[in-house]
Amino acid sequence: MLVVPVVLLVASIPEWSARQSLARLAAREASRAVALEGICRGSVAESVVEAVEQGSGAPDGALTVDLDCAPGAPLARGSTVTARVTVSMPAIVVPLIGTAAGWSWTAAHREPVDPYRSLP
């Protein structure tokens, strides 16, 4: 009886690590895309996060993104854009059966806006 919980925990650890890495990647790419855009557009960040999500094979809606800038506002040269991506983490992973709902984990990445870019 003691072996079953340990096996389920060991089976869950790789999924937790994969989801954390996925959130870090999505946050890095979303903040970079918005910083390059020069205007705080949530749609740009959401499309990048969606592409990362689809490319990873994660379930739809597993990732959500939030930006720290005013929507539609131009980004000042030398400022930073922070993207926070929240991923749903499964509480337990049972191989060949599925996952049980768990908690969420958030990764953040801050990307500087090019200080020498031309004004919008």
**What value does the mean pLDDT take over residues 93-115?**
83
- Rg of the chain (C-alpha set): 17
Q: Is 27 helix (H, G, I), strand (E, B) or coil?
A: helix
pLDDT of residue 120: 57
pLDDT digits (tens, 9 = 90+) for 16-63: 888 899 999 999 999 999 999 999 999 999 999 999 999 887 888 889
Residue 87: both structure tokens together: 């991923």
**All residues at 6 or more sequence positions from 10 whose CB lies less than 8 Å from its CB, including other chains:** none
Domain boundaries, the chain: 3-112
CB within 8 A of 3, min separation 6: which ones? none
Residue with tokens 């969606």: 50
pTM of the model: 0.85
In which residue are the tokens 């869950």 written?
12
pLDDT of residue 52: 94
